[in-house]
Amino acid sequence: MSEVSQEIGEKWGKVKVPGKVFGKTPIEFDPEAQKKLAIPLGERELFPSVGTRLSEALIEGGVTTAFGCPGGHMWHFLDEMSRAGIKEYIFAFEGQAVYAAEGYTQVMQGRKTAVCFGTVGPGAANAFSAMQQAWLSCSPIIFLAGGHEKVHDDLRNTLQESYAYKFYESITKWAYRLSYPWQVKQITARMCKLCQSAPKGPCAFEINCDPLLMKDEARKHYWGGFFAEDEAYVEAWRYEDTSKPLTNAADPAEVAKAARALAAAKAPYLVIGEDAAWEDCGAECKEFVEYWKIPHNNRRTGRALISELHPYYHRGYPPFKSEIDLMIVVGVKVGFFDAYGGGWAPTIQFANAESRVWTYLKSPAVLMGTIKVTLRQVLDYAKANNLGPSLEAQEWLKKCQASQVAAIEKRKAHAYMYGPDHPRYRKYNIIHFGYMSQIIREVCHEEWDDKPRVCIDGYTLSDFVMPYLQFSRPASCVSANDQAGVGHGVGQAIGMAIAQQELGEENIPVLPLMGDSGMMNGGWDCEVAVRFKLPIVYLVTNNGGWMPGMKYPWYGPNWDILGDQDRLGETFRGVRQQGPERPLIDFAKFADSIGARGMHVNREEKLKDSLKEAMAYSQKNGPVILDCIMDQHQTNRAVTGPVYTLFYAHIPWDELPPRGKASRAAYLPHWFPGLKDEVGWKVSDPWEPLSEDEFGYAPRDDYFKA
């Protein structure tokens, strides 16, 4: 057939299947073998098919791995992908398969596009939320969806009628519905290119029954046989670079402005973001900050693109942020989590696409182009023109370095205030989120040299743990990004572990930090990790429900402001109610049911040894689920912050618990004139357990009382 077919054949000869080795190329990918057949291929089977064409094009685009759930509308091409050598990981839920692809592509730092698949109707629909997250995180994923036959379009009278290409078009770079088999390679090649083009992102390809079940003979009768077997497609269109992303450079005038602004700066500060990570430009970023001697921070997916052990690294902004006179953002999505750059100094923007240039930042220079290239342009210009950091900038660096050292010690001391010697944690079998955060840092540093990759998938813990985490290698901090969902950590960890194996890295455990609700949402697909013996520790922060700690500032300890039918302790249809809480699920028993190891810890003095044991076990034997019973009093600080205070503005003042009153009085006196006389309130410290006086109402249960 083609050189691609020969490449598939070479790969196929090395693929090991349990029980035997297939030493020959599948017949549909071996044109020489086809010539020797007594009865031509295609007279007793469907050939050429959508599956053979799709597989060849995906392999040409660099795809080696696929994640999903199979179905009847898809076996034609899923089987061919497998026969061609693409490894398929089968999940129970399509959404978790997409999360796995997201974790996989992030560890790959965009070097490879991943494939996901879900059948027509429910399969494609189940993946929607995860695909939206992939869209927001810019993950290069091609989602292959099954589709119904077109003859029944819009008639509502066939099996699983759905239009994946329509409902995916708002959350992908391109969504397309295949009409004819001879289009497959053209569309697949374009999707591989689009996924890798800046900013990276997903595409969706609906392959319905019509082209799947259409013989190539139909092409000869379509438009007089005008179209070629692979219409508008050429093999290896960029030769050996076909699977690589395209690059471009910045305007030389912007390069000069940026270099001169950097040389003039007295207190510069640089932030590295997700787009820099997707371009795998850690080496360029490191050279850049070292040349200009700039203190820097890494955000979201960009964390540890330069090791966070680097002497110029500063976690977050320094406490003297107002002294910064020049900001430099390298591939940063400056949005909600960055307060849209409000109050920032003038900012040099390194952006890989026009859509990633932020017009709400005062910018003396905008370098739009491939970030690897534009960083190099500025360095080369500076060296050629003898430009370098000012003396003031070098003193500023020393000040930031001292700040970083002090901040690490301060955080550690703060966490240990709530450790095993705290009266509450001596008395109760519960763990403080802040103390846990410090222990995670210590274990990852002392036992694993800060190499474990982490998924953030617990809302309460996310607020405590982020400043404590420390990473030494790229793609180490994966989250839901702007989606801010739950349950994604199950699949993401699987994809991350698979990518580590594919890259030939050390078998370092992956540590998804799960909430109990996220684990309930996606936990069954932990079985995939068990099946492939992946080194994953699912650390579950178990506090009994959807953010149950928010009841203390806003609802009362019995969910008192809710209706009688939902209030804790009331009886509804003969069943005692718990509000939005649930009984503490025993996740260690759940682990046993799927073949993982289950562990349980509820004492702070045992936490460190338990985590060390879990990670060491997972490295050799596969997944562990570590069930940690947490203090329900803690909440994410956002729960008593200005945004949540607005979300709870409907609750009558007199029914609010004290912590809720404090937040409303602090943040909304300009909105509610009746609050002008409410003085002396202080917004609560989310680290501090509640006192008896702060409950507001008498608890009906002993469960997590003060």
- Predicted local distance difference test score (pLDDT) of residue 1: 45
- Predicted local distance difference test score (pLDDT) of residue 158: 86
- CA end-to-end span of the chain, whole Å? 73
Q: Are residues 286 and 234 in the same domain?
A: no
Domain final residue pick, 629, 656, 687: 629
Please tell me the distance from the alpha carbon of residue 626 to that of residue 608, in angstroms, as a whole number: 12
Q: What are the residue ranges of helices labelled H in 584-623?
A: 587-594, 604-621
Domain final residue pick, 385, 402, 419: 402
Sign, CA torsion 170/174/180/181: negative
- DSSP bridge partners of 600: 627
Q: Are residues 61 and 143 in the same domain?
A: yes
- Predicted local distance difference test score (pLDDT) of residue 703: 54
Q: Are residues 211 and 328 in the same domain?
A: no
Q: Are residues 459 and 396 in the same domain?
A: no
Containing structural domain, residue 288:
252-402
Helix, strand, coil percentages for the chain (3-state, nearest 5): 45, 15, 40
Q: Are residues 463 and 598 in the same domain?
A: yes
| 221-to-179, 182, 184, 207, 346 alpha-carbon distances in Å | 15, 13, 18, 21, 63
Residue 663 lies in a domain: yes
Whole-structure pTM value: 0.95
DSSP 355: G
Residue 559 lies in a domain: no
* Residue 381: CATH number of its domain: 3.40.50.1220
- Predicted local distance difference test score (pLDDT) of residue 503: 95
Q: Are residues 338 and 388 in the same domain?
A: yes
Residue 706 lies in a domain: no
Q: Are residues 201 and 339 in the same domain?
A: no
Sheet holding 537-542, edge to edge: 477-478, 453-457, 510-515, 537-542, 624-629, 597-601
Q: pLDDT by residue (tens digit) across 565-619?
A: 999 999 999 999 998 899 899 999 999 999 999 999 999 999 999 999 999 999 9
- Closest to 300 in 3D by CA, of 269, 271, 341, 343: 271
Residue 301 lies in a domain: yes
Neighbour tally for 368: CB within 10 Å: 20
Q: Are residues 620 and 672 in the same domain?
A: no
- Predicted local distance difference test score (pLDDT) of residue 18: 28
Q: Are residues 351 and 236 in the same domain?
A: no
Rg of the chain over Cα atoms, rounded to whole angstroms, equals: 28
Domain final residue pick, 213, 241, 269: 241
Q: Are residues 81 and 18 in the same domain?
A: yes
Residue 206 lies in a domain: yes
Q: Strand 87-90 to strand 141-147: parallel, antiparallel, or no bridges (unpaired)?
A: unpaired
Total number of domains constituting the chain: 4
To the nearest 10°, report the CA torsion of 402, 403, 405, 407: 160
Sign, CA torsion 413/416/418/421: negative
Q: Are residues 304 and 332 in the same domain?
A: yes
Q: Are residues 85 and 38 in the same domain?
A: yes
Residue 455 lies in a domain: yes
* Residue 134: CATH number of its domain: 3.40.50.970
Residue 247 lies in a domain: no
Mark the ranges of the chain whose per-residue pLDDT is less than 70: 1-23, 696-698, 702-706
